[in-house]
Amino acid sequence: MRYCSLFREDPSAAGKLLTLLHFVAANRIPLIVAVSLSTVCLLVHFLALEHSWLQVARYDLPTIFLYARFSWWIHSFIKSRRHLEHMLKHHGEELKVAVKASTSELFHEIQVKRKRL
């Protein structure tokens, strides 16, 4: 995440391109595009099919099963990644608050000790 914030501050074209790529990768756009294009390709294949349904069941059904399996696998990976990012962000904020509190407490103790001397 730190690298992405550095690229956002970069006004060059490369920085803007990297910001756009980060936005696209962080959203559901790639998943929607991939599933849509794959579905269109499968539908075109079935519409242009000149073979019997037995051949479809024998040769194309395993391909469709693999397509569905990979789609499910990608979806579950994206879901777990987003959950992990949310948890890291939440715990990172808690850690920042705890560090600030302990730091201010230590500075207060140091000031009290200096006053005693």
> Taking the domains of the chain in order of start, what are their residue ranges?
2-90
Contact 67, 38 (CB under 8 A): yes
How many C-beta atoms surround the C-beta of residue 66 within 10 A? 10
Question: To the nearest whole number, what is the mean pLDDT of the chain?
Answer: 74
Element (H, E) at 12: none
Under DSSP, the state recorded for 56 is: I
Question: Is residue 8 over pLDDT 70?
Answer: no
Question: Is residue 24 over pLDDT 60?
Answer: no
Q: What percent of the chain has pLDDT over 70?
A: 64
What's the pLDDT score for residue 63? 78
Question: Is residue 18 over pLDDT 80?
Answer: no
How many C-beta atoms surround the C-beta of residue 59 within 10 A? 10
Give 52 or 69, the one with higher predicted confidence.
69
Distance CA 84, CA 15 (A): 26
Mean pLDDT of 9-17: 56
What's the pLDDT score for residue 100? 92
Question: Is residue 65 over pLDDT 70?
Answer: yes
Give the Cα-Cα-Cα angle 107, 110, 113 (nearest 5 degrees): 155
Mean pLDDT of 30-46: 74
Question: Is residue 64 over pLDDT 50?
Answer: yes
